[in-house]
Amino acid sequence: MAHINENYLKLPGSYLFSEIARRTAAYVNSHPDAELIKLGIGDVTRPLAPAVTQAMHTAVDDLSRAESFYGYGPEQGYDFLRDPIAQFDFAARGVDICVDEIFVSDGAKSDCGNIGDILSVDNIVAVCDPVYPVYVDTNAMAGRAGDYSEDTQRWSDIVYMPTTAENGFCPELPEKDVDIIYLCSPNNPTGTVLNAHQLKKWVDYANEHEAIIMFDAAYERFVIEPDIPHSIYEIEGAKTCAIEFRSFSKTAGFTGARCGYTVVPKELIRGGTSLNTLWNRRQTTKFNGASYVIQRGAAAIYTPEGERQIEETLAYYRYNAHIIKEGLERAGFDVFGAVNSPYVWCKTPGQMGSWDFFNVLLEQANVITTPGAGFGPAGEGYIRLTAFGDTQDTEKAVMRIEALKL
């Protein structure tokens, strides 16, 4: 008799976005004329850069002719994409990453989820709280999380590191030894960043404890402050302890096109084995490469024209983040993130719960946000707003919130 993976049965429902949808629908039902503005959405809205779509058209044409047809590609990605990644994302920042340390994929969510394949189920996992749920859920599926408690909203075997205004959104080193540490900077959901000094503390910890840092840099292109690392490999010692996830989703609007990459340094050795070799084996066995058409599109963002075009779109989103931050601050809120990130993390007024504040903004300003509690217990008392909307709508939403005089 076939047995299922019982770990799946321990997973709580994915409650956050369905509950937001439910509350929003209920409000619309009773207020059909309300003009709602969504500032909760984590998806991009601006079109792909012309250089990208042009490259995709050319790639589709390649596949339309026998003489330029591409079949199975290298599972690790084409060098026409890995070469500029190595050059522009790393060498240009003084970081030496080889092409064969770069694994192109269909996106960072897949890689963040699949990376656990190459690691033992016995490792102790540490995550920040609040957290992007994929880190936790994929470890729970693999059997690394123990049991879930509805009361604490926590898993018994996961080490949670609160990141709040009180600790400047930098997780403290854990008292208990941990083996796998997820860090995300610029952070989803808080929009805050870790500086070189803060990252160095973690790199040193990981090297001393032979732990592994899973560094999610999906929002790296939003960093504008000069002293904030874009890659964990800017920190000395990171190549012997860190794996880095990158995405073209927010960088260049690829949420629907699908492309990302993961860096696994050859110097990252655990138990005498290079994790680069293990990940290469995983990808060649369980993956067949990202789409040729999409890889060609991704490569176009490294051309001068493509670079200029994606920067225009990033500037658009940054401006939205600026509008939200300034407006909320004028209205007297404590606001975090937003500077190096498309995410704005706002303290609720008084001691208001984040779902209550969500309701207030929905019902009194007709603005949809994301309650911080949905990302973990330490997200209680905050809401997340995002900069991916239309600028005019964003301005209008912020004016409505200011007018509430909360």
78-85: which pairs have CB atoms within 8 A and are 24 or more residues apart? 78/104, 78/292, 78/295, 78/299, 80/295, 80/296, 80/299, 81/295, 81/296, 81/298, 81/299, 82/261, 84/299, 84/302, 85/246, 85/261, 85/302
Those residues with Cβ within 8 angstroms of residue 226's Cβ, 6 or more apart along the chain or in another chain? none
**Residue 221 in the binding site for a second copy (CB under 8 A):** no
Q: How far is CA 225 from CA 194, 230, 261, 315, in A?
A: 11, 10, 24, 14
**Residue 212 in the binding site for a second copy (CB under 8 A):** yes
**Residue 71 in the binding site for a second copy (CB under 8 A):** yes
Instruction: Pick out residues in 237-266 that bind a second copy (CB under 8 A).
Output: 253, 255-258
Report the nearest approach of a second copy to the CB of residue 284 (Å): 7
Report the nearest approach of a second copy to the CB of residue 349 (Å): 31
Q: Is 195 or 284 the residue whose CB approaches a second copy more closely?
A: 284
Segment near a second copy (CB under 8 A); pick from 45-53, 182-190, 319-327, 337-345 = 45-53
Q: Is 107 or 186 the residue whose CB approaches a second copy more closely?
A: 107
Strand spans (E) along 248-359: 260-263, 269-270, 273-274, 335-337, 343-347
Report the nearest approach of a second copy to the CB of residue 41 (Å): 9
Contact 223, 340 (CB under 8 A): yes
Contact 367, 400 (CB under 8 A): yes
In the DSSP assignment, the letter for residue 349 is: S
Token digits of residue 312: 């225009």
**Residue 205 in the binding site for a second copy (CB under 8 A):** no
Concatenating the DSSP letter of every residue in 288-313 gives --S-HHHHHHHHGGGSHHHHHHHHHH
**Residue 87 in the binding site for a second copy (CB under 8 A):** no
Token digits of residue 1: 């008799």
Segment near a second copy (CB under 8 A); pick from 87-95, 277-285, 334-342, 398-406 = 277-285
Which residues is 122 bridged to in the sheet? none
Report the nearest approach of a second copy to the CB of residue 162 (Å): 23
User: Count of residues binding a second copy (CB under 8 A)?
Assistant: 76
**Residue 328 in the binding site for a second copy (CB under 8 A):** no
Token digits of residue 166: 């009180």
Can you tell me which of 89, 101, 129, 179 binds a second copy, judged by CB under 8 A? Answer: 179
Instruction: Pick out residues in 296-325 that bind a second copy (CB under 8 A).
Output: none
Can you tell me which of 22, 31, 57, 330 binds a second copy, judged by CB under 8 A? Answer: 57
| Start-to-end CA span in the chain (Å) | 60
Instruction: Pick out residues in 111-170 that bind a second copy (CB under 8 A).
Output: 113-114, 117-120, 122-123, 134, 137-138, 141
Q: Is 211 or 398 the residue whose CB approaches a second copy more closely?
A: 211
Report the nearest approach of a second copy to the CB of residue 117 (Å): 7
Radius of gyration of the chain (CA): 21
Return the ∠ at Cα 178 (arms to 161 and 123), rounded to 5°.
120
Instruction: Pick out residues in 337-376 that bind a second copy (CB under 8 A).
Output: none
Other CB atoms within 10 A of residue 332 CB: 11
Q: Is 170 or 211 the residue whose CB approaches a second copy more closely?
A: 211
Can you tell me which of 211, 242, 339, 346 binds a second copy, judged by CB under 8 A? Answer: 211
Can you tell me which of 1, 29, 35, 405 binds a second copy, judged by CB under 8 A? Answer: 1
Can you tell me which of 32, 65, 176, 405 binds a second copy, judged by CB under 8 A? Answer: 65
**Residue 282 in the binding site for a second copy (CB under 8 A):** yes
Q: Is 114 or 359 the residue whose CB approaches a second copy more closely?
A: 114
**Residue 294 in the binding site for a second copy (CB under 8 A):** yes
Task: Supply φ then ψ for residue 144, to 5 degrees.
Answer: -95, 0
Can you tell me which of 43, 96, 172, 236 binds a second copy, judged by CB under 8 A? Answer: 43
Report the nearest approach of a second copy to the CB of residue 377 (Å): 20
